[in-house]
Amino acid sequence: MHPGSVPSSAPSASSGARPDSPDGGAGTTDHGARRSDRDRRVGRRRPTRTAFVGRRATPTVRKFSPEYLRRTRDGMWAESREALADLSLADRTRVLDAGCGTGELSRVLDAETPGEVVCVDADTDLLGVARRETGLSTVAGDAVRLPFVDDAFDLVVCQALLVNLPDPSEALDSFVRVSSELVAAVEPDNAAVGVESTVSAEVALERSVRESYIEGVRTDVALGDRLPDIFEAAGLRDVRTRRHFHRKVTQPPYDELELEDAARKANGAGVAAHETELRRTLSDAEYDALRRDWREMGRSVVEQMREERYRRAEVVPFDVVVGRVPE
């Protein structure tokens, strides 16, 4: 979720986002050490390899615009890629970016690995952007029914995909099938976002909206720190996790996207875009009051921007979880 186009609310950055590790590499946890003795190996077929098996793409994920993905992912890996260390990108020969969107992670993968990077997404509009902007191979396909043969890649990875699926385990099962070695996911913990702002009302309002949105949305958008258990349930071994903090700062001079975000706050569009989710938890009166307060807050943001006084910092924690496919 993004503060301009999607309602967001959060505890303060000092408590919710744990910015004590701003470099994004907040240590590694080996979840294999706490596995039970129960055998979770999964059966794996090994047919003759082909590059691609044609299947019809049927979207099962919430849709997002290219503009939204740019706003929320821009610069995510610019400061540090330490949290990607367990993906062993330098050793990969064929990598799949599942649910690639417009290719934000794909570009990072391509820069860090000597191997081939393939992008797959069910949204052909986003896939077209990824093809134009990355020059990488693209395939239309659903993450829960990946159109590839078994063991086609030695790494399958996704970014901010599982939080938008009704059943993340279905996608992981598909990832395990087409990977011969590693499966990884980079997923946000939207319940632990930290916000600071020079507009005093913004932090509390965003917290309120975010909490209502998380309660009303049909997928688990705060999945982040529960991913290791889901990986282990999928039969993955040697599960490791690192936490990466995506810090976004708004300050003068403001760019076009930041000005658009402020306008969406002032006209209430960011809240209205998620009216369905918010109304699942709010009464009509509560929703109307929230939207009114949100617009008032947005006007204060616009006013401070005109005077070049507006400052905002948002820290979104992402959990990078990697597991090894059983032989």
> Residue 196 and residue 317: Cα distance in Å, rounded?
15
pLDDT of 78 reads: 80
In a domain, 49, yes or no: yes
Q: What is the DSSP string of 55-123?
A: ------S----HHHHHHHHTTTTTS--GGGGGG-GGG-SEEEEET-TTTHHHHHHHHH-SSEEEEEES-
My answer on whether omega of the bond before 253 falls inside 30° of 0, hence cis, is yes
Domain hosting 132: range is: 29-324
pLDDT of 76 reads: 82
| Environment class of 149 (CB within 10 Å of its CB; exposed 0-12, middle 13-18, buried 19+) | middle
What does the longest C-alpha to C-alpha distance in the chain come to? 65
Total residues belonging to the chain: 327
> Tell me: the pLDDT tens digits for 35-47?
333 233 233 333 3
In a domain, 23, yes or no: no
**Percentage of residues in the chain with pLDDT exceeding 90?**
71
In a domain, 13, yes or no: no
In a domain, 319, yes or no: yes
In a domain, 120, yes or no: yes
Domain CATH for 213: 3.40.50.150
Q: What is the DSSP letter of 49?
A: P
For the chain, what is the domain count?
1
pLDDT tens-place values along the chain, 327 residues long: 433 333 333 323 333 333 333 334 444 554 444 333 323 323 333 332 333 333 333 444 555 544 544 555 566 888 889 999 999 999 999 999 999 999 999 999 999 999 999 999 999 999 999 999 999 999 999 999 999 999 999 999 999 999 999 999 999 999 999 999 999 999 999 999 999 999 999 999 999 999 999 999 989 888 877 899 999 999 999 999 999 999 999 999 999 989 999 999 999 998 998 999 999 999 999 999 999 999 999 999 999 999 999 999 999 999 999 999 998
In a domain, 21, yes or no: no
Give the H/E segment covering residue 212: helix 200-216
Enter the pTM of the model: 0.78
> Tell me: the pLDDT tens digits for 147-177?
999 999 999 999 999 999 999 999 999 999 9
Residues 6+ apart with CB under 8 A from 192: 10, 11, 16, 17, 18, 222, 224, 317
pLDDT of 270 reads: 86
Structure tokens at 75: 């610069």
In a domain, 24, yes or no: no
User: What mean pLDDT, rounded, does the chain reach?
Assistant: 82
In a domain, 147, yes or no: yes
| Environment class of 75 (CB within 10 Å of its CB; exposed 0-12, middle 13-18, buried 19+) | exposed
pLDDT of 74 reads: 63
